[in-house]
Amino acid sequence: MSTRSVGSARDGEDAQPVVRATVFKFAPDVDPAPHYETFEVPLARGMRVLDVLEAIREDLGQPISYRWLCGVKKCGLCAMTVNGRPCLTCWEPAEPDMIIEPLAGFPVIRDLVVDRDAVDARLLDVDPFLHRPEDQPYRGFPEPLSGAAMRRAGTMMNCIECLACVSACPVPRERFIGPAALVQLARWAFDPRDGADRAALAVAGGIAECADCGDCTAACPAGIPVKEIAIAGLRELCIRSGYPDAGPAPQEKCRLVVPRGRDR
């Protein structure tokens, strides 16, 4: 189904460029099967993928279900799969031709809305709270702390839990807690004030299963070096803490796991 737009040209341009979006639709309570619908909307200046979806609803009056709240890369709720890749739709520019699908690797609630519950629960499994050693209690604000000592943890704090990295990760979830949970774990592991056994949590989370493919880093819209800093840093911590098997995956493993990964 193709629906032509009725917008007028901006900036007095003669030939109005358009964006063509083919969108996954599926309402399990009324549709027998998923299907795709194609829409065209005028290309606005700097248009994000999210703006295209909004135009389809607000201007074309066509219903699509999707999540978004902040529009500026803070809430982490608008990640979808666009042209086969995980995409934070408020962050990435609209492309002239797009296939927009629910974020790969998650059960579909309706259309572009996925069920995050199972993965959100994992983010809590890494004990994402500060545990101060008993002999280093908090003595009041502001506590002694340096910017240099907090730099790595600060990088981890850029994570908005959008789960694009989890979508990209090829390792089966039964064996591996996933990159987002490890970024959250690293945020505390790298915090000089924390005294919990973060290495044990990394090992329990299956850090040895990570194939080091780097697809998480490539997918992260916040530019966090997930593999190179979060996971590598945790591996290092594990080895120092006496878990020798948590080291970097041999290249062979990466070659085996990636093609056989979850959605490939």
Residues that bind other proteins (CB under 8 A): 27-31, 44-48, 50-51, 54, 57-59, 61-63, 65, 68-77, 90-91, 109-111, 113, 124, 128-130, 138, 140-148, 150, 153-154, 157-158, 160-161, 188, 191, 193-194, 223
d(CA 22, CA 19): 10
Task: Between 156 and 171, name the residue whose CB sits nearer to other proteins.
Answer: 156
CB of 242 to other proteins, least distance (A): 26
Task: Between 95 and 194, name the residue whose CB sits nearer to other proteins.
Answer: 194
Task: Between 15 and 72, name the residue whose CB sits nearer to other proteins.
Answer: 72
- Which DSSP category does 228 fall into? I
Collapse the DSSP code of 106 into the 3-class scheme (helix H, G, I; strand E, B; otherwise coil) and give the result. coil
CB of 86 to other proteins, least distance (A): 17
d(CA 249, CA 151): 26
Residues 6+ apart with CB under 8 A from 115: 106, 107, 108, 109
CB of 97 to other proteins, least distance (A): 18
Task: Between 148 and 259, name the residue whose CB sits nearer to other proteins.
Answer: 148
CB of 111 to other proteins, least distance (A): 8
Radius of gyration of the chain (CA): 21
Residue 12: both structure tokens together: 């007095």
CB of 49 to other proteins, least distance (A): 9
Check whether the bond before 42 is cis (ω within 30° of 0).
Answer: no
Task: Between 8 and 138, name the residue whose CB sits nearer to other proteins.
Answer: 138
Distances (CA, A) of 37 to 20, 111, 145, 262: 10, 11, 54, 26
